[in-house]
Amino acid sequence: MTDTPPAPAAPERKPVDDTLAWAVALVPGATLLLSLVTPADLTLPILLANVGLATVDMLRLKEAGYGTLGGWTVLVPVYLAKRAQLVGRGRGMVAVWMVLFASGIVMPGFVARGARTEVACELVTEILQREDKAAPSCKGVTVTTDPGTGFVKGRALLSDGSEREITIEERGDSVEVQVLPR
């Protein structure tokens, strides 16, 4: 009969605060808000913020007796999922991160489209009133055809209730508008 030594006791795990993990999950939302107010490319600062917050969170987990999660801090949704499993939490943070990340991909296109139509409306008014000072002003632009090439067809609603067919072309940072003949 051989005596086997008793297994070492598992290290005691302390309660862990989720504040940093939630901050990681909310970074794409902050990115989305910042992208609405600045044209700057935020990719690197956001990546560094995500990895930095996740790394500090992982160090806190280690101090609390949960071990580490290796290099997963670079892949944020994987890190959040593994963290949730490790500390026995649900995957709400993962879902929040994914929804905000997807919104950050989709929303800027909608915002840009809205800005494009506002600029186009201003240009329609300028064009019409250059030809005739008493011409009606543009009240709104509706895009009717957008093949995703930067050249779109639309309709301008004028202050007198009439509509004019227009084309809008994006060239870099500028927008060119043509008011088509009736």
Q: Which pLDDT belongs to residue 119? A: 85
Q: Which pLDDT belongs to residue 137? A: 93
Counting beta carbons within 10 angstroms of the beta carbon of residue 53, is it exposed (0 to 12), middle (13 to 18) or buried (19 or more)?
buried
pLDDT exceeds cutoff 70 at 39: no
More confident residue, 120 or 12: 120
Mean pLDDT of the chain: 82
Long-range contacts, stretch 57-63, CB < 8 angstroms, 24+ apart: 57/20, 57/21, 57/24, 57/83, 58/83, 60/16, 60/17, 60/20, 61/16, 61/86, 61/87, 63/14
Q: Which pLDDT belongs to residue 143? A: 83
pTM of the predicted model, to two decimals? 0.57
Which of 4-18, 81-95, 115-129 shows the highest mean pLDDT?
81-95
Tell me the sheet residues that pair with 179: 166
Q: What tokens appear for 53 in the block?
A: 């917050």
Q: pLDDT digits over 121-151, tens only?
A: 888 999 999 988 889 999 988 888 776 677 7
Q: pLDDT digits over 141-178, tens only?
A: 888 877 667 778 889 999 999 999 998 887 766 788 88
Q: Which pLDDT belongs to residue 136? A: 93
Query: Minimal CA–CA distance to 75: which of 54, 96, 56, 89?
Result: 54
Q: Which pLDDT belongs to residue 149? A: 72
